Structure 1
Amino acid sequence: MDLKKPVTDPKVLEAIHIMRANNTPETRSQMVHAVMQGRFLAPVHIEPEPQTDENGCAVLTPDATVGFHMLPTKDGQRFLLAFTDWDELKKWKPAGKQQVLTIGFDEYSRVILRPDSVAAGFVINPFGVNVSFNKNFLASVQAQKGLSATSAVTQQTTIPSGTSVKLGQPQKRPDAMLQAVSAFLAERDSVRAAYLGLIEMENQTHYLIAVDLEGDCSGIFEGIAAVAKPYLGGVALDMVTLENSLGKEAAKQINPFYQKNE
């Protein structure tokens, strides 16, 4: 980042203040849009410490590691920090040298949604406006972005009559994919549970996700496909509801990887 350039994001703060003064679906949407377009100061620890070039930009070595500072909550969750300006950052750490990166919504999402991440989300100006975005919300937004970026529409899988299908479970669970899908499903009130199987038909092996839901599956399969895509590794993904005979069989044989919290 440019160490000489001041960092401020007045549009984000303006949108937050407008939303706080008049909390409506429209002002919330405008606030989220502003945050998605914004850039924030993220306190980090970089090892080895980077040097600065003649332009004042930090230069990281190829073997550098970056760790993000987090703020714990009373219930034990930990949130990455996002500051709109240096004054807000100094409310967290008023003195001493502080390493920072300037990153945006998507970068926060990628860090938080990693399989090995312990972060529950990120919080903007925790000692000021104190607006947080949790992991489930970030997963939902990324799923919708993935959906809008593709023209393909994923529909419920239909197995042709007479096709021989063998249902089992993957020897190695795709845990990263299941975590991403679970985070997406947690934002969908209509979904009660989901099951992961492995089906073999016509000499091909596919993942199968069977979804127990109430009502229409519109948007559910598209969202699952969007968040699962980066983790498929070339394996096809089929999806069914429990109204499908294959879905019913999956629910009988397999423990759910996702269940709705009642």
Structure 2
Amino acid sequence: MNINEPISNPKLVSAIEGLSNNNATQQKFFEELAQAKLLCPADIQLQNSTRDGKEIVVGEGSSISVKHIEDTEGNKFLMAFTDWKELYKWNSSKEQQTVIFGYKDFQSIMKEARDVYSGIVINPFGANIVITLPMLDGLENDCIIKKEEQVLIGIPAEYPTELINNLCIYFDKEKSVDKAFLLWMVRGEEGSYLLILDSKEDPNILYPRIGNFCSRFLKDKMLDIVSANSDFGKNVIKEHKSFYERD
């Protein structure tokens, strides 16, 4: 680790700035996130460590405790910053210790402590982009749909009644979704639930919130969420009925 390393992610920052309810833009964001190295503030206690050039090799007995923030409901999110300028919006101290993580590092932490963290938040005092564990898992499985890629869509063989019932209750209470469809999507050898939502709310805010809610009902299955207004979503829902419609 090297606290003085000049971390910056101009391509990811550009993708974040252009993020909207547009498949191409969302695809670009996730492609850049998969390649990014992000700053994660931490408390670091080094033991038996050595220096190799600019890098510190962490020795046995060392401890690294990553920082997090909480939302108004008490959900905990790991913090990730695209560059030092964004990190200084949170803490301007030059003494703040950091580690440099890629998405797999965040994924590993959240899998080990899935009862603790609800996700990561990128530039929480700037763009404030929330990413949940299912979304990170999707990156590993190349969840972004590419042009001309063969995708099989159908009804889940084992219909997730518990998930459906709880989503209906959740949508009625939250009133952010007008219509919802749940299907099963197969890409290559990978399968996942496909939740298609008709909503006027910003997907960058809505989808992580819904993904976090669904995580307790997925039973180790993956979940992808797309907009009913996207080209992909429009084509899929032509042949299927919604499981939820708001009155």
TM range (shorter): 0.5 to 0.7
The within-5 A match list for 1:1-262 is: 1-20=1-20, 23-48=21-46, 53=51, 55-95=53-93, 97-115=95-113, 118-144=116-142, 191-192=160-161, 218=186, 222-223=190-191, 258=219
Question: Structure 1: how far apart are the matches of 2:93 and 2:125?
Answer: 16
Q: Report the alpha carbon displacement of residue 47 of structure 1 after superposing the two structures with TM.
A: 2.2
Q: Percent of pairs identical after alignment?
A: 25
Amino acid at match of 1:11: K
Q: Give CA deviations for 1:129-178 in whole Å, capped at 9, x if unaligned.
A: 11110123223433557xxxxxxxxxxxxxxxxxxxxxxxxxxxxxxxxx
CA distance in structure 1 between the partners assigned to 2:120 and 2:53 by the alignment: 30
Q: 1:75 Cα deviation (Å)?
A: 1.3
Is the 8 Å Cα contact of residues 111 and 117 (structure 1) preserved in structure 2?
Answer: no
Aligned residue pairs total: 167
1:15 deviates by 0.7
TM-score (norm. length: structure 1): 0.54
Judge conservation of contact 2:30–2:139 (CA < 8 Å) in 1.
Answer: no
Task: Give 1:125's aligned amino acid.
Answer: N
- Find the aligned partners of 1:116 and 1:223 in 2 and give their Cα distance: 21
CA offsets, 1:171-209, max 9 Å, x none?
Answer: xxxxxxxxxxxxxx9xxxx63359xxxxxxxxxxxxxxx
| DSSP 3-state at the match of 1:46 | strand
Other structure's SS at 1:129 match: coil
In 2, Cα distance between the equivalents of 1:37 and 1:221? Answer: 24
Gapped regions of structure 1 (runs ≥ 5): 146-184, 195-213, 225-255
Deviation at 1:51, TM superposition (A): 5.9
Q: Structure 1 residues 52 and 125, CA, compared in 2 at 3 Å: closer, same or farther?
A: farther
With the length of structure 2 as denominator, give the TM-score of the two structures.
Answer: 0.57
1:48 CA displacement? 3.3
The residue identity in structure 2 corresponding to 1:8 is S
Q: Deviations over 1:75-104 (max 9, x none)?
A: 111111111111111111112511111111
Post-superposition CA distance 1:187-244 (Å, at most 9, x none): xxx63359xxxxxxxxxxxxxxxxxxx76674598347xxxxxxxxxxxxxxxxxxxx
Say which SS state the counterpart of residue 140 (structure 2) adopts.
helix
Amino acid at match of 2:7: V
1:49 CA drift (Å): 6.5
1:53 positional shift: 2.6
CA distance in 2, matches of 1:131, 1:217: 26
2-structure distance, mates of 1:221, 1:40: 30
Please, what is the CA RMSD of the aligned residues? 3.5
**Which residue type is aligned with residue 83 of structure 2?**
D
Whether the aligned pair in 1 keeps the contact of 2:121 and 2:130 (CA below 8 Å) is yes
Per-residue deviation, 1:5 = 2.6
Distance change in 2, residues 1:26/1:91 (3 Å): same
Q: Equivalents in 1 of 2:114, 2:96: separation in Å?
A: 25
Asked if structure 2 preserves the Cα contact closer than 8 Å seen for 1:15 and 1:31, the reply is yes
1:250 counterpart residue number: none
After superposition, the C-alpha distances for 1:13-69 in whole angstroms (9 at most, x for unaligned) are 00111224xx30111111111111111001111223686736232231212122110
Bigger Rg over Cα: 1
